[in-house]
Structure 1
Amino acid sequence: MATFPSVAFIGGGNMANALVSGMLAQGCPAEKVHVIEVAEVLREQWRARSVSVSAAPDTLLSQRQVWIFAVKPQQMRDVVLQCRAWLQPNTLVISIAAGISIDSLGKWLGEDAKPFGNVVRCMPNTPALVGAGVTGMSAPATTSAADRERATALLSTVGEVVWVDNDKAIDAVTALSGSGPAYVFLFLESLIKGGLALGLSEQQARDLALSTLAGATKLAQQSAEAPSVLRERVTSKGGTTAAALDVFAQQAFGQTVVQAMAAADRRAAELSIEFGK
């Protein structure tokens, strides 16, 4: 059984819920989890899970080895400053706020001239809610190897972990896997609508779309061949798939996806400017 550090979640929304569920499922005692959440209805839900709860930062924070900030980017600075009084030199601070740079986080926790260095910035995604997430992670050189491993262990409870080199790469992670589930859900919506337009029932279209996407993804995961090769194997010259792919090509589907990801990446950088001061 894994040994878990004591953890404080600052923000008790969906991502905190996913992470705590993963930790508890892997044997973390509930008493090692503390949640700070302003909404009373959410605090009641957390109390029902036997974890300690408070409405605002308090002295319990100083007793927690790891802090995980799970609040919106526009709230991050104020919340960090509220918590800073209880920060310990060996606390590991993990942020899952989009667009908030490691540099900003370190300065808010410490000082401009001497930023706090024991931080990890990460970007999980919503499939973490079912234990199938993927999280991009980055940390400065001042974060120890032991704390990197600790962060990896915590985020691995809800899926895969991929380490990248810097904030710019985390913005790219945000554009790909952080926002990516929304792209997939949009494609699913479109497949279902297409099935309905062709005469299938809503249940039939949904079942076929979900199973097709899940099966294709599993095949791609287990195959040593590139997705382009797998695509070509489904596509017979002059056949039905070729006819559909011709329409995608005419509408510049691939280019549209790349442009959409570039827009998400730019927005992540803008969030850093807007809320990272």
Structure 2
Amino acid sequence: MQITFIGGGNMAAAIIAGLSKHPEHTIRVLDRNQDKLDRLNQQYGAQGLTAMPAQFSPQEVVVLAVKPQQLKALCHDLAPRLGGALTISIAAGIRCDALARWLGSERLVRAMPNTPSMVGKGISGLFAAPAVSPADLAAAEIVMASVGSVVWLEREVGIDDITCVSGSGPAYVFYFIESMMQAARDVGFDEATARQLVLDTFDGAVTLARQSPLPVEQLRSNVTSKGGTTERAIVRFDQEGVKAAIVAGAMDCRARSIEMGQQLSQD
């Protein structure tokens, strides 16, 4: 499969890295930054392009990996050259109906990956426009599964839903890690030890949650002995509304995703 990335930023580079492990794929990347193209070529064998190809073929996949604010102009430039190619957009917010208007094509898949894709541990939500064939679905899944797991969404609003959970979710986790590392430093651990204690705790807790048949609520309860040290911390979290604030923040994230989509999808 030939896959052309338009934009060679961090997320594109992560997907290219994953795809490069499968030599049956031919990878091209279009970007104005020659240093970036050279690096992607040296590391992953991607062919660098500094100008838009004159024509794409219906058999290839085009991945739109530019900032949302740049996407409309890009699509207008791409439209006469697209040649019916399957198009995957990883740009946040831009709806399929807008992409279809700008590109003159309904052979579209939207994807919402997250930053752990950079280490092959991502998860991506995918939504396909009605015109997408089963073969196209399989091709899109191959592209996004190269950096982690994939969840197909039945409705396009699911992209906003998944944004507030997994798309932005790594930032929530990093925020909690920051807080725990601050606590570790406050009780006297040096930076390196604080980092090790917290990251290994997160890694171990996630592994346990994956491997245990118990729900996470039960795993948390198992550590929270009545009248003990963990209970004291959980009581404070509840008093401060930590869980409610996390849920509310995720809903605010979803609302902003919908708002951005409406703004950026206008003609």
Under a length normalisation based on structure 1, what TM-score does the superposition of the two structures give?
A: 0.92
| Letter of the structure 2 residue corresponding to residue 146 of structure 1 | A
Decide whether the 8 Å contact of 1:26 with 1:157 is kept in 2: no
Alignment of 1:158 with 2:158, yes or no, is: no
Separation (CA, whole Å) in 2 of partners of 1:77 and 1:217: 39
Question: Residue 7 of structure 1: which of 3, 7, 29 is its match?
Answer: 3
Alignment of 1:18 with 2:14, yes or no, is: yes
Decide whether the 8 Å contact of 1:95 with 1:122 is kept in 2: yes
SS at match of 1:193: helix
Question: Residue 135 of structure 1: which of 124, 129, 149 is its match?
Answer: 124
For residue 47 of structure 1, report the CA deviation from its aligned partner. 3.5
Which runs of 5 or more structure 2 residues have no equivalent in the other structure?
none
Separation (CA, whole Å) in 1 of partners of 2:226 and 2:213: 24
- Give 1:262's aligned residue: 251
Under a length normalisation based on structure 2, what TM-score does the superposition of the two structures give?
A: 0.95
Question: Residue 31 of structure 2: which of 33, 37, 46 is its match?
Answer: 37
Alignment of 1:207 with 2:196, yes or no, is: yes
Decide whether the 8 Å contact of 2:127 with 2:156 is kept in 1: yes
Aligned residues between the structures: 265
Decide whether the 8 Å contact of 2:224 with 2:230 is kept in 1: yes
For residue 63 of structure 1, report the CA deviation from its aligned partner. 7.5
For residue 135 of structure 1, report the CA deviation from its aligned partner. 0.3
Alignment of 1:46 with 2:35, yes or no, is: no
| Letter of the structure 1 residue corresponding to residue 4 of structure 2 | A
Decide whether the 8 Å contact of 1:35 with 1:54 is kept in 2: yes
Separation (CA, whole Å) in 1 of partners of 2:38 and 2:120: 24
SS at match of 2:20: helix
Decide whether the 8 Å contact of 1:134 with 1:162 is kept in 2: yes
Once the two structures are superposed, residues 220-257 of structure 1 have per-residue CA deviations (whole angstroms, 9 ceiling, x without a partner) of 11122211111101100010100000111011111111
% identical equivalent positions: 37
- Give 1:113's aligned residue: none
Question: Residue 57 of structure 1: which of 49, 52, 56 is its match?
Answer: 52
For residue 218 of structure 1, report the CA deviation from its aligned partner. 1.0
Separation (CA, whole Å) in 1 of partners of 2:57 and 2:140: 18
Decide whether the 8 Å contact of 1:8 with 1:61 is kept in 2: no
SS at match of 2:214: coil
**Alpha-carbon distance change, 157 to 243 in structure 1, aligned in 2, over 3 angstroms:** same
For residue 18 of structure 1, report the CA deviation from its aligned partner. 0.5
Decide whether the 8 Å contact of 1:8 with 1:64 is kept in 2: no
Alignment of 1:181 with 2:170, yes or no, is: yes
For residue 143 of structure 1, report the CA deviation from its aligned partner. 0.7
For residue 273 of structure 1, report the CA deviation from its aligned partner. 1.7
